[in-house]
Amino acid sequence: MNNFSSKTAIAGYGATEFSKNSGRSELRLAVEATLAALADAGIDPGEVDGMSSFVMDNNSEQEIFRAIGGKDLKFFSRIGQGGGASCAPLQQAAMAIACGVAKVVVCYRAMNERSEYRFGTPMHSLPPTSDNVIFAYHGAAGLMTPAAMIALMMRRYMHETGATSLDFANYAVTARKFAATNPNAFFYGKPITIADHQASRMIADPLRLLDCCQESDGGVAIVVTSAERARDLRQKPVYIRAAAQGSPGGSVSLGGFYRDDISPRDESAAAARQLYAQSGLGPKDIQAAILYDHFGPSILPSLEAYGFCARGEAKDFIKNGNIEIGGTLPLNMHGGQLGEAYIHGVNGITEAVRQLRGQAVNQVPGVKTMLVTGGSGLPTSAAILGVE
């Protein structure tokens, strides 16, 4: 394989504020984030020649490009599977740049998913695409929301591992503790207790309200360029050590109920195998992680899938303080999507960039290598990022 490991780097990032009502168009959010990311990198917008995002973003590549005064867009791609794909644009950018197809690729995500429409609502499912007929088939059973789909997977996980709602609470409390000291987080200054979690209402038993990510308005963009170019720019380069997608046989979008292990783990494990092979790194080399928390409980099988602990041990790994700053694997220091915002995982990539540059509010001292992942329980993506 023509390995693209460390041949490209994140040179800049930009973000709008995260809110429940941005007061402006989704396109404007995307353009603000894109221009901020380019300014952060010190790259003129006229140099952008590639753009990548993933489905469920309503902003077309060429409209952002038109707005920023782009000149010649040569590479544009959009990956399926919503939040599962949050790290896939990094792989797209790295491959495009390593192949010489593009030189400066903007990866973006911008949505008014709270103020203009509601995410996480029942998935009514016309037209009959290959995925929609499955959502409809499951929907006929009364399984219509992402929360309920993940809940069905997690109930079996609890049965097999002995994890309980209190183990889910341990993650939620940690995420909200980090958010409480992050001024950009929606839940800044609002930590929760185990009792708050246990008192929060059921959404899809075993998932409680405080297990669920937020619906958020906001935009995020990331600029990727070659490693050589990045070294001459304003910011410390954050190298893409590895980036991968994962979708093993038997994967169904939020509906992999027909394989031996229905917990949200197989796709993540498939991505993990590629990341470690590409980079020559292993779980022991990862010093901090951003794991996708559409629903906090999914963190447990993700910790196992990426090799940080054995099957069934994630509950104790969390309980024993490993995900705290100072632990063996500080996790979601921005507060996660439970605490900061739900920009479909891309705000997690920007947190990794801040951490690796040493600019985060909840900084992990001296962190040089991090894992970032996309949503689990569906075809997914992930990346290993690092600094020298």
Residue 200 interacts with another protein (CB under 8 A): yes or no: no
> Measured from the CB of residue 246, what is the shortest distance to another protein in angstroms?
19
Residue 62 interacts with another protein (CB under 8 A): yes or no: no
Binding part of the chain for another protein, among 40-48, 248-256, 268-276, 320-328 by CB under 8 A, reads 248-256
Residue 133 interacts with another protein (CB under 8 A): yes or no: yes
Among 58, 132, 274, 320, the residue binding another protein under the rule CB under 8 A is: 132
Residue 134 interacts with another protein (CB under 8 A): yes or no: yes
Among 2, 72, 140, 284, the residue binding another protein under the rule CB under 8 A is: 140
Among 9, 30, 111, 143, the residue binding another protein under the rule CB under 8 A is: 143
Q: Is 188 a catalytic residue?
A: no
Contact between residue 68 and residue 74 where contact means Cβ atoms under 8 Å apart? no
> Measured from the CB of residue 312, what is the shortest distance to another protein in angstroms?
16
Q: Residue-wise over 236-265: b if at least 16 C-beta within 10 A, else e?
A: bbbbbbbbbbbbeeebbbbbbeeeebbbbb
Residue 201 interacts with another protein (CB under 8 A): yes or no: yes
Contact between residue 77 and residue 106 where contact means Cβ atoms under 8 Å apart? no
Q: Is 258 a catalytic residue?
A: no
Q: Which two tokens stand for residue 174?
A: 């940690």
Rounded CA separation 324/319 (Å):
10
Rounded CA separation 251/378 (Å):
7
Q: Across the beta sheet with 238-246, what order do the strands follow?
A: 75-79, 50-54, 104-112, 217-226, 8-15, 238-246, 380-386, 369-373, 288-290
Rounded CA separation 108/77 (Å):
11
> Measured from the CB of residue 357, what is the shortest distance to another protein in angstroms?
40
Binding part of the chain for another protein, among 131-139, 163-171, 266-274, 320-328 by CB under 8 A, reads 131-139
User: 3-state DSSP call for residue 110?
Assistant: strand
Among 78, 257, 274, 357, the residue binding another protein under the rule CB under 8 A is: 257
Q: Which two tokens stand for residue 132?
A: 């929609």
List the x/- string, 202-241, binding to another protein by CB under 8 A: xxxxx-----------------------------------
Contact between residue 109 and residue 57 where contact means Cβ atoms under 8 Å apart? yes
Evaluate the CA torsion angle 188, 352, 374, 371 in order and state its sign: negative
Centre a 10 Å sphere on the Cβ of residue 203 and count the other Cβ atoms it contains.
18
Residue 138 interacts with another protein (CB under 8 A): yes or no: yes
Residues that bind another protein (CB under 8 A): 121-122, 125-128, 130, 132-138, 140-145, 148, 151-153, 155-156, 159, 201-206, 249, 252, 255, 257-258, 262
Active site residues: 292, 342
